[in-house]
């Protein structure tokens, strides 16, 4: 396989093109491919992260802003903070990495994305097979009954569930909560049955999502990790690419298109 690099990569083009080629060669042999994406992809779209050295949780107590108890203590304040986060996402947009992943669905017999991000950018980019492990900031649900609320009367802040009168809340996974079972099971099954598993833009520290790569590896998948920084799961990688998703994934896409 031979293809020419196009575009400008970060750090003066220091991303290892040989590793990109190695990733492409693995992917060309694969029928089932799945991916796990994390906050690094959102950061490339200008969305502030939570756990990085300058992330939100270095300045704010997550127990007050991202727990059931914290919400009940000051529901209006927490709701308005999530509204500010929603506005930040609305003022951002998917990057080339999101768009490249959407194109992967057209190339492989099966391609899915399990994401820790709550911005909805994968679906907005055209990806259809997406497992939103930590929820979606643009959805809301009933605090008491956990049911998704399609419409809300926002004349009161925070709004109330139109069915039972309980508080509405963002449909995101807070500290102390489990991942949605059906979503997790789908992501687990895809990892278990992948020929190649990609890990993109995540530090590999948040479980259980970070364990998906190990599940894939245990079941004989090849693991491709793409991240500008070192991650906790780098030792699992068959191919390790130090670079931004918005630069590396379009290069991989070009290689796949040239090799098909």
Distance separating alpha carbons of residues 33 and 61, to the nearest angstrom: 37
Asked whether the bond before 208 is cis by omega within 30 degrees of 0, the reply is yes
Q: Which of 98, 122, 131, 134 is catalytic?
A: 134
Active site residue 134: yes
Beta bridge pairs of residue 83: none
**Per DSSP, what are the bridge partners of residue 169?**
141
At residue 82's C-alpha, the angle toward residues 80 and 88, to 5°, is 110
Least Cα distance to 173 among 184, 163, 165 occurs for 184
Report the alpha-carbon distance of residue 123 to residue 186 in Å, rounded: 16
Residue with token string 């492409």? 24
| Residues noted as catalytic | 134
């Amino acid at each position: 396989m031979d293809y020419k690099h196009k575009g400008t990569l970060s750090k003066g083009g220091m991303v290892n093109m040989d590793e990109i080629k190695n990733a492409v060669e693995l992917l060309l042999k694969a029928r089932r491919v799945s991916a796990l994406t994390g906050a690094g992809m959102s950061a490339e779209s200008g969305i502030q992260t939570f756990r990085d050295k300058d992330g939100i949780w270095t300045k704010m107590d997550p127990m007050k802003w991202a727990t059931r108890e914290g919400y009940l203590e000051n529901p209006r304040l927490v709701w308005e903070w999530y509204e500010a986060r929603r506005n930040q996402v609305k003022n951002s947009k998917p990057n080339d990495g999101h768009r490249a992943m959407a194109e992967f669905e057209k190339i492989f017999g099966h391609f899915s994305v399990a994401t820790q991000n709550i911005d909805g950018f994968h679906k907005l980019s055209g990806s259809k097979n997406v497992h939103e492990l930590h929820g979606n900031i643009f959805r809301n649900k009933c605090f008491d009954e956990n049911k998704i609320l399609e419409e809300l009367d926002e004349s009161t802040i925070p709004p109330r569930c139109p069915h039972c009168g309980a508080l509405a809340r963002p449909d995101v996974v807070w500290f102390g909560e489990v991942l949605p079972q059906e979503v997790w099971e789908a992501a687990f099954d895809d990892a278990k049955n992948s020929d190649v598993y990609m890990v993109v833009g995540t530090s590999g520290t948040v479980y259980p999502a970070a364990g998906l790569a190990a599940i894939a590896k245990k079941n004989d998948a090849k693991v491709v990790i793409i991240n500008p920084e070192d991650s906790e799961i780098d030792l699992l990688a068959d191919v390790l690419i130090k670079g931004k998703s918005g630069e590396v994934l379009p290069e991989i896409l070009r290689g796949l298109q040239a090799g098909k």
